Amino acid sequence: MNTPTTPQARVSKITVGRLHSLGNYEHVRYEIAVDIPDGSSASDTLRNLERILNGLDPKPPVSDYDLQRASAALVKASEAGEEGLEEWERGNIETYRKYVARHAKWNAERTWAHDALDAIGGIAIHADAKDSWDD
C-alpha cells in the first residue's frame, strides 16, 4: 500500500458502541467517537475506549435485594458476631462478602469510566425510543 505516489493510510477516528442489556426487554446503548491525533496509537485508543464502555455497564452484578440482604447480614455479624446470625445467614456469610465485594468493584469501575469519559470530553445525549414512537 505504501508506494511513492500513494500516501500511507492512517486511522483518524474511531467510533465504538456497546449495547448493555438490562433485562425485561430494556437496554442502554453507549457510543463513543474519538479523533485520533497524529502520532497516537489507534490500538491503544481502541483498548481505552473498550475499557470505558465495559466500565459503563449500567446493570449491577448483584440485585438490589441480594445486596441489601448481604449488607444487613454483614452488619449484623459485625455487631453481634457470627453467633448472632441465623443458621442460614451463617451458611451464606462468604457469599454475602462476595456480593458486597463484587458490587464495590462494579461501582469503582463505573466511577472510573465516568471520570475517564469526562477526561476525554464526553458528551451525554439521552435518547428514549418511547419519545419517538408513532402509535
The three three-digit cell numbers of residue 39, written as one number: 502520532
Determine the angle formed by the axes of helices 42-55 and 93-119, rounding to 10 degrees.
130
What's the whole-model pTM score? Answer: 0.74
How confident is the model at residue 24, as a pLDDT?
Answer: 87
The string of pLDDT tens digits covering residues 9-37 is: 788 899 999 999 988 899 999 999 999 98
The three three-digit cell numbers of residue 95, written as one number: 457469599
DSSP state of 2: -
Under a CB-based contact definition with an 8 Å cutoff, are residues 52 and 116 in contact?
A: yes
How confident is the model at residue 4, as a pLDDT?
Answer: 60
| 6, pLDDT greater than 70 | no
The string of pLDDT tens digits covering residues 72-118 is: 999 988 888 877 788 888 888 999 999 999 999 999 999 999 999 88
Under a CB-based contact definition with an 8 Å cutoff, are residues 107 and 115 in contact?
A: no
pLDDT band at residue 70 under the 50/70/90 scheme? very high
How confident is the model at residue 112, as a pLDDT?
Answer: 94
d(CA 99, CA 77): 15
d(CA 29, CA 6): 38
The string of pLDDT tens digits covering residues 48-59 is: 999 999 999 999
